[in-house]
Amino acid sequence: MEEVLPERIFPSLVALFIVVWVILFIWLFNVLYLEPNKIRLKLQRQGIKGPPPAFVMGNIHEMKRIMSMAADAPRSETHLPLGFSTSTTFPYFTQWTKRYGGTFTFALGNAQVLHVTDTKLVKEINLSKTLDLGKPSYLQEDRGPLLGKGLITSNGAVWLHQRKTIAPQLFMDKVKGNLNIMVEFVSDLVNSWLGLIELGRGSADIRVDDYIRSFTSTLISKMMFGSHYSKGVELFPKCRALMKDLQTPTILKGIPFFRYLPTKENQDVRRLEKEIYASLIDIVKEHPETAFDKMAQIIIESAKTGELGTSTPDQYIVDNYKDVYLAGFEVTVVATLWACLYAEVLEVCGGHVLDTNMLGKMKLMVIQEVLRLYLGVAFVSRQALKDVKLGDILVPKGVNIWIWIPVLHQDPELFANGISGACKSPNAYIPFGIGTQMCLGQNLAITEMKILFTIILSHFSLSLSPNYNHSPRLNLLLEPEYGVNLIIIKI
Ligand code: HEM
Ligand SMILES: *[C@@H]1O[C@H](CO)[C@@H](O)[C@H](O)[C@H]1NC(C)=O
């Protein structure tokens, strides 16, 4: 037998090493430079311009620069009663819109984004039925610990299977089945506020955040876990901690592969992700009786059949719980908190006793108006999974589409008379998104807010507390940074 000598292996190892490096280099060059460039050119040829990107970083540094300049500039007054202005929150988009028009393209790292505020394009996307217009792939990378591969981030056959499973659980008849739970909860809330008012001799300064959070989290937990809902409620503080850790998307941090670095933040994220996974699996596996209740059972059953993609059944179950939890919880909380302020601004309640009919009408208007002006969600996002034709534009495969909701919603021409202007341009009012992937919880969210305000406003008058500090802040959502304090008086 011939002996393999080290001297003969070594040169071939070196050769292999060089080949691997060359392939890696070509691959990186393609992913970071050639591909994004090709996509930009395709858009440019159709007249879509945008700020020139830097190698690897795209426009992230420029966004940071514009942001810090805007932070130094004196704050401009807004036309809103409790102002939130798009030009202070997203100064780079305002600048680029001035320079390139509402439809322009920019780059976050090597991800190309098509920025859209044109209602014609919104309409095209709304009417498009193709699954080739899906969720951006950076969501699973960037938001993985929070959303996994559940309904909010998935595409194609996997998404369809999840959507068909979960949608019927949020239809109006299911929402109506939970009216009693909602009324019961708000009645408890009224009693605890009455207690505080009594202690405060007629009025109380209340930070309403935790009450609202408790309302939405209890409700969604009951809808998912039925009688074992308290196990679900226990998960919310962890979910919130996770959201806090992930509040600046790594895609905006401008450090490639940031999420793989062993920072304290990233370690926290990993720990919380594991704990939430373990708790959810524990609820499902150790308490099989919960599984025969409510939405939990439906999701578990759906993990046995149908397209799960690359997920294991356990992973699929956990991810879909997390997605419904988060969609159903925090977005509604933020909208409701803004609504508390806005109800006060509009003086809907202002001490007047309104008859129920009038209250009903005004509340829906207030809710719609809040969702117009203070929507927690800033963008509707999509990605072209193949080349997709939208009206006159051919969106090349890989391009992400961001529809900038606040600019549509604050267009003074479209909404000259507030929300009633929505009839004039239905394509400009999109608080629950558009088209195939539109929000599944719309009925639930509006019902929750209506019940909450009907009961609260029939007992109390609300006004802004001197302890309220107005500071809309964009984290994952656009939220009141310091919470909401209200002076509450019994009527
Ligand atoms: C005021 C409260 C809410 C607002 C403003 C809101 C808004 C949105 C928006 C803008 C989207 C993205 C839609 C798109 O990409 O076109 C969305 C998706 C979603 N929402 Fe809501 N939402 C709210 C409450 C809820 C509630 C209570 C639930 C129920 C549990 C829920 C479940 C979902 C789900 C499951 C999706 C993903 C749908 C899919 O990708 O197929 N949302 N929501
Ligand atoms: C989206 O299309 C539906 C009809 O399919 C329509 O009722 C709705 O107003 C449209 N929304 C937008 C924002 O264009």
Put the strands of the sheet holding 460-464 in their side by side order.
Answer: 203-207, 485-490, 460-464
Ligand nearest to the CA of 122: 2
Domains, the chain, ordered by start? 46-490 (1.10.630.10)
Ligand nearest to the CA of 154: 1
The bound ligand whose nearest atom lies closest to the alpha carbon of 120 is 2
What is the chain's alpha carbon radius of gyration, rounded to the nearest angstrom?
Answer: 25
Q: How far is the CA of 380 from the centre of ligand 2 (A)?
A: 14
CA distance 202 to 197: 5
Flag whether pLDDT at 464 surpasses 60: yes
Q: Give the residue, by CA position, lying nearest to ligand 2 atom 11.
A: 427
Query: For residue 380, which atom of ligand 1 is closest to its CA?
Result: 15
**Residue 157: CA atoms inside 13 Å, Cβ hemisphere, count?**
7
Residue 198 in this model has a pLDDT that exceeds 60 = yes
Of the listed ranges 91-100, 313-322, 360-369, the one predicted with least confidence: 360-369
Range of lowest pLDDT (98-107, 229-238, 289-298): 289-298
Decide whether any atom of ligand 1 lies within 6 Å of the 151 Cβ: yes
Look at ligand 2, atom 1, and give the residue with the nearest C-alpha: 126
Q: What's the pLDDT at 356?
A: 52
| Cβ density class 364-395: b for 16+ within 10 Å, e for less | eebbbbbbbbbbbbbbbbbbbbeebebeebeb
- How far apart are alpha carbons 421 and 123 in whole angstroms? 17
Report the distance separating Cα 432 and Cα 443, nearest Å. Answer: 10
Rounded to a whole number of angstroms, the distance between the first and last alpha carbons of the chain is: 99
Which atom, in ligand 2's list, is nearest to the CA of 119? 14
pLDDT score recorded for residue 423: 60
The token duo for 107 is 């780059």
Could you report the per-residue pLDDT of 398-415, keeping only the tens digit for each?
999 999 998 888 887 777
Q: How confident is the model at residue 352 (pLDDT cuts 50, 70, 90)?
A: very low
Average pLDDT over residues 405-430: 78
- Range with lowest mean pLDDT among 155-159, 380-384, 411-415, 433-437: 411-415
Tell how far the Cα of 415 is from the centroid of ligand 2, in angstroms.
17
Query: How many angstroms is it from 441 CA to the middle of ligand 2?
Result: 17
- Give Cβ neighbours of residue 118 (< 8 Å, ≥ 6 apart): 102, 103
Gap between the Cα atoms of 154 and 328, Å rounded: 17
Ligand 1 geometric centre to CA of 186 (Å): 23
Residue 351 has pLDDT above 70, yes or no: no
Q: How far is the CA of 147 from the centre of ligand 1 (A)?
A: 13
Residue 212's identity, in one-letter code, is I
pTM here? 0.88
> What per-residue confidence (pLDDT) applies to 354?
45
58 lines ligand 1 (CB under 6 A): no
- Is 119 in contact with 428 (CB distance < 8 Å)? yes
Number of DSSP helices (H) and strands (E) in the chain, helices first:
22, 12
Q: Which ligand is nearest to the CA of 409?
A: 2
Rounded to the nearest 5 percent, the helix, strand and coil shares of the chain are: 60, 10, 30
Give the number of the atom of ligand 2 that is nearest the alpha carbon of residue 428: 13
pLDDT score of 290? 56
Say what the pLDDT of residue 353 is: 44
Check if 49 has its Cβ closer than 6 Å to any atom of ligand 1.
no
434 Cβ closer than 6 Å to some ligand 1 atom: yes
Tell me, what's the pLDDT at 78?
45
Packing angle of the helix pair 294-302, 313-345 (nearest 10 deg): 140
Average pLDDT over residues 173-181: 91
Q: Which residues, including other chains, have CB under 8 Å from residue 82's CB and lie 6 or more apart?
A: 341, 342, 345, 470
Rounded average pLDDT over 142-170: 91
Which segment of 202-206, 214-218, 250-254, 324-328 scores lowest on mean pLDDT? 250-254
Q: Is the CB of 167 under 6 A from ligand 1?
A: no
User: How many angstroms separate the CA atoms of 117 and 434, rounded?
Assistant: 13
Which residue, judged by its Cα, is nearest atom 12 of ligand 2?
A: 427
- Residue 4: DSSP 8-state: -
Q: What pLDDT is attached to residue 53?
A: 92
Q: Is 439 annotated as a binding residue?
A: yes
Q: Are 291 and 297 contacting, i.e. CB atoms less than 8 angstroms apart?
A: yes
Ligand 1 atom nearest residue 377's Cα: 10
Dihedrals φ, ψ of 224, to 5°? -90, -45
| 3-class SS of residue 266 | helix
Q: What's residue 80's pLDDT?
A: 46
- Indicate if ligand 1 lies below 6 Å from the C-beta of 158: no
Say if residues 290 and 228 touch (Cβ distance below 8 Å): yes
Residue 48 has pLDDT above 80, yes or no: yes
Q: Which residues lie with the beta carbon below 6 Å from any ligand 2 atom?
A: 122-123, 126, 426-427, 430, 434
Question: Tens digits of per-residue pLDDT, 215-260?
Answer: 999 999 888 888 778 888 888 888 888 888 887 665 555 555 666 7
pLDDT in tens, 57-83: 899 989 989 988 877 765 554 444 555
| 188 pLDDT tier (thresholds 50, 70, 90) | very high
Nearest-atom number in ligand 2 for the CA of 434 is: 13
DSSP reduced 3-state for 348: coil
Say whether pLDDT at 181 is over 50.
Answer: yes
